[in-house]
Structure 1
Amino acid sequence: MKRTYLFLLFLLLAPLSLQANPLTKDFVAAAKERTKQQVTYDSSYYTIDYPNGDIPGHLGVCTDVVIRSYRQVGIDLQKKVHEDIKKNFSLYPSKKLWGLKGVDSNIDHRRVPNLQTFFKRQGQSLKISKDPQDYRAGDLVTWMLPGNLPHIGIVVDQKTSKGERPFIVHNIGAGPKMEDVLFDYPITGHYRYGLKD
């Protein structure tokens, strides 16, 4: 009787565990899978579905690598970012940087400064350092590129040939790549969001 009760309890609770945070390894695998896709860099504005909207799969920017990797593990950043901006518009840089007066589910999640604000608010904002050991697979890193261009990438579980630094999956203009760029540009943010080990 006790075994039957425990088994029934397991059956009831099992679906809840499937809705828990995805594993970091699955997110990292999804990011690395992005590097196998042919993607033309395109920062144009697109009208997309909501929720789970996406621009055409053969197009994208750095944020789309992050968005699509999270989507592969069941997290819709478009919806999550949109909902948080809608409730907390004044905390986001949308008005200051782009002169916007309201939310836009077509583009808000595709802007690095908005993702930075979202990850600070809803995830963990971690220290920025020059120690590669501080950056774990699944972490998100933002940089400021020359010309004041914000950029974002995903830390993965592969390291340089000497094991010194983790590689980053990002799209800096030539499609999604896995490269040794962690310390190539000034780091402006280091985050963890929505994953478990």
Structure 2
Amino acid sequence: MLIIVALYVLYCFNYIPHKKYTNADFNIEAYKSNIDKDNDGIDDQTDILNNANNYIKTNPKYKSKYYNTGYPNDEYGVCTDVVAFALKDAGYDLMELVNEDIKNNKELYDIDAVDKNIDFRRVKNLKVYFDNNAISLTTDINEIEEWQGGDIVVFKKHIGIISDKRNRKGICFVIHHANPYQIYYEEDILEHRDDIIGHYRIS
């Protein structure tokens, strides 16, 4: 009995990998944006998803650090860096974009001292930025057709990119970086979270 409980706990926390399904398994058409911000021949939605996958292939180690360059330039990172690098390589420089939005809408941001190098790496600031500048979508994970690879999901203190892989119910996996003990960067976590506060699409 203890073994069964232990296996269940390990499964719930994604230490045991979950089977992955695709859009085709649920007759869902993959969303394609009609915008290609960086003019690389790949639409924004696909570009963001590909970039998120490319970022996690570097196996970043979890550590919260300050960088004078803004973007981490070593082997470390946090949850917001998954999103920042996914968007940056699609033509959306969040360091510049968030800083500009803070300047124009400072009353919306809970910031005492503006710091371009770190503000875009805080979940609460990205939530405000996406509220102002992205397409806001449902937070009901059971509306599976509305969740697409390349979307952004925001939790109260966490953020990630929606994967194009799904669980047996059709609910999307999340590409994210949550803590130093995480084994897989692409995980089946949405059903186990009760703190989803935002779901966005860039274009």
1:127 to partner: Cα distance: 2.4
The residue that corresponds to 2:45 in the other structure is 24
Q: Note if 1:126 corresponds to 2:132.
A: no
2:110 aligned to which of 83, 93, 114: 93
1:137 to partner: Cα distance: 1.6
The residue that corresponds to 2:186 in the other structure is 178
Choose 114-123 or 71-80, whichever is displaced more: 71-80
- Structure 2-normalised TM-score? 0.73
The residue that corresponds to 2:171 in the other structure is 165
Give aligned pairs, total. 164
Q: Verify the 8 A CA contact 1:22 1:74 in the aligned structure 2.
A: no
What is the one-letter code of the residue matched to 1:36? K
Aligned equivalents of 1:130 and 1:18: distance in 2?
A: 32
Consecutive aligned runs of 4 or more in structure 1 exceeding 6 Å deviation: none
The residue that corresponds to 1:147 in the other structure is none
1:20 to partner: Cα distance: 9.8
Q: Verify the 8 A CA contact 1:125 1:189 in the aligned structure 2.
A: yes
Q: Note if 1:36 corresponds to 2:47.
A: no
1:45 to partner: Cα distance: 2.2
Change (3 A) 1:21 1:36: closer
Please state whether the residue corresponding to 1:141 is helix, strand or coil. strand
Aligned equivalents of 1:28 and 1:17: distance in 2?
A: 14
What is the one-letter code of the residue matched to 2:162? V
1:163 to partner: Cα distance: 5.4
After TM superposition, list the pairs within 5 Å mapping 1:1-197 onto structure 2.
18=39, 22-48=43-69, 53-94=70-111, 100-101=112-113, 103-133=114-144, 134-144=146-156, 150-160=157-167, 162=168, 164-174=170-180, 177-185=185-193, 186-193=195-202, 195=203
Q: Which has the larger radius of gyration?
A: 1
1:57 to partner: Cα distance: 3.4
Mind listing any 5+ residue stretches in structure 2 that lack a counterpart?
1-36
Q: Which has the higher strand share?
A: 1
Choose 175-184 or 72-81, whichever is displaced more: 175-184
Mind listing any 5+ residue stretches in structure 1 that lack a counterpart?
1-15, 95-99, 145-149
Change (3 A) 1:79 1:22: farther
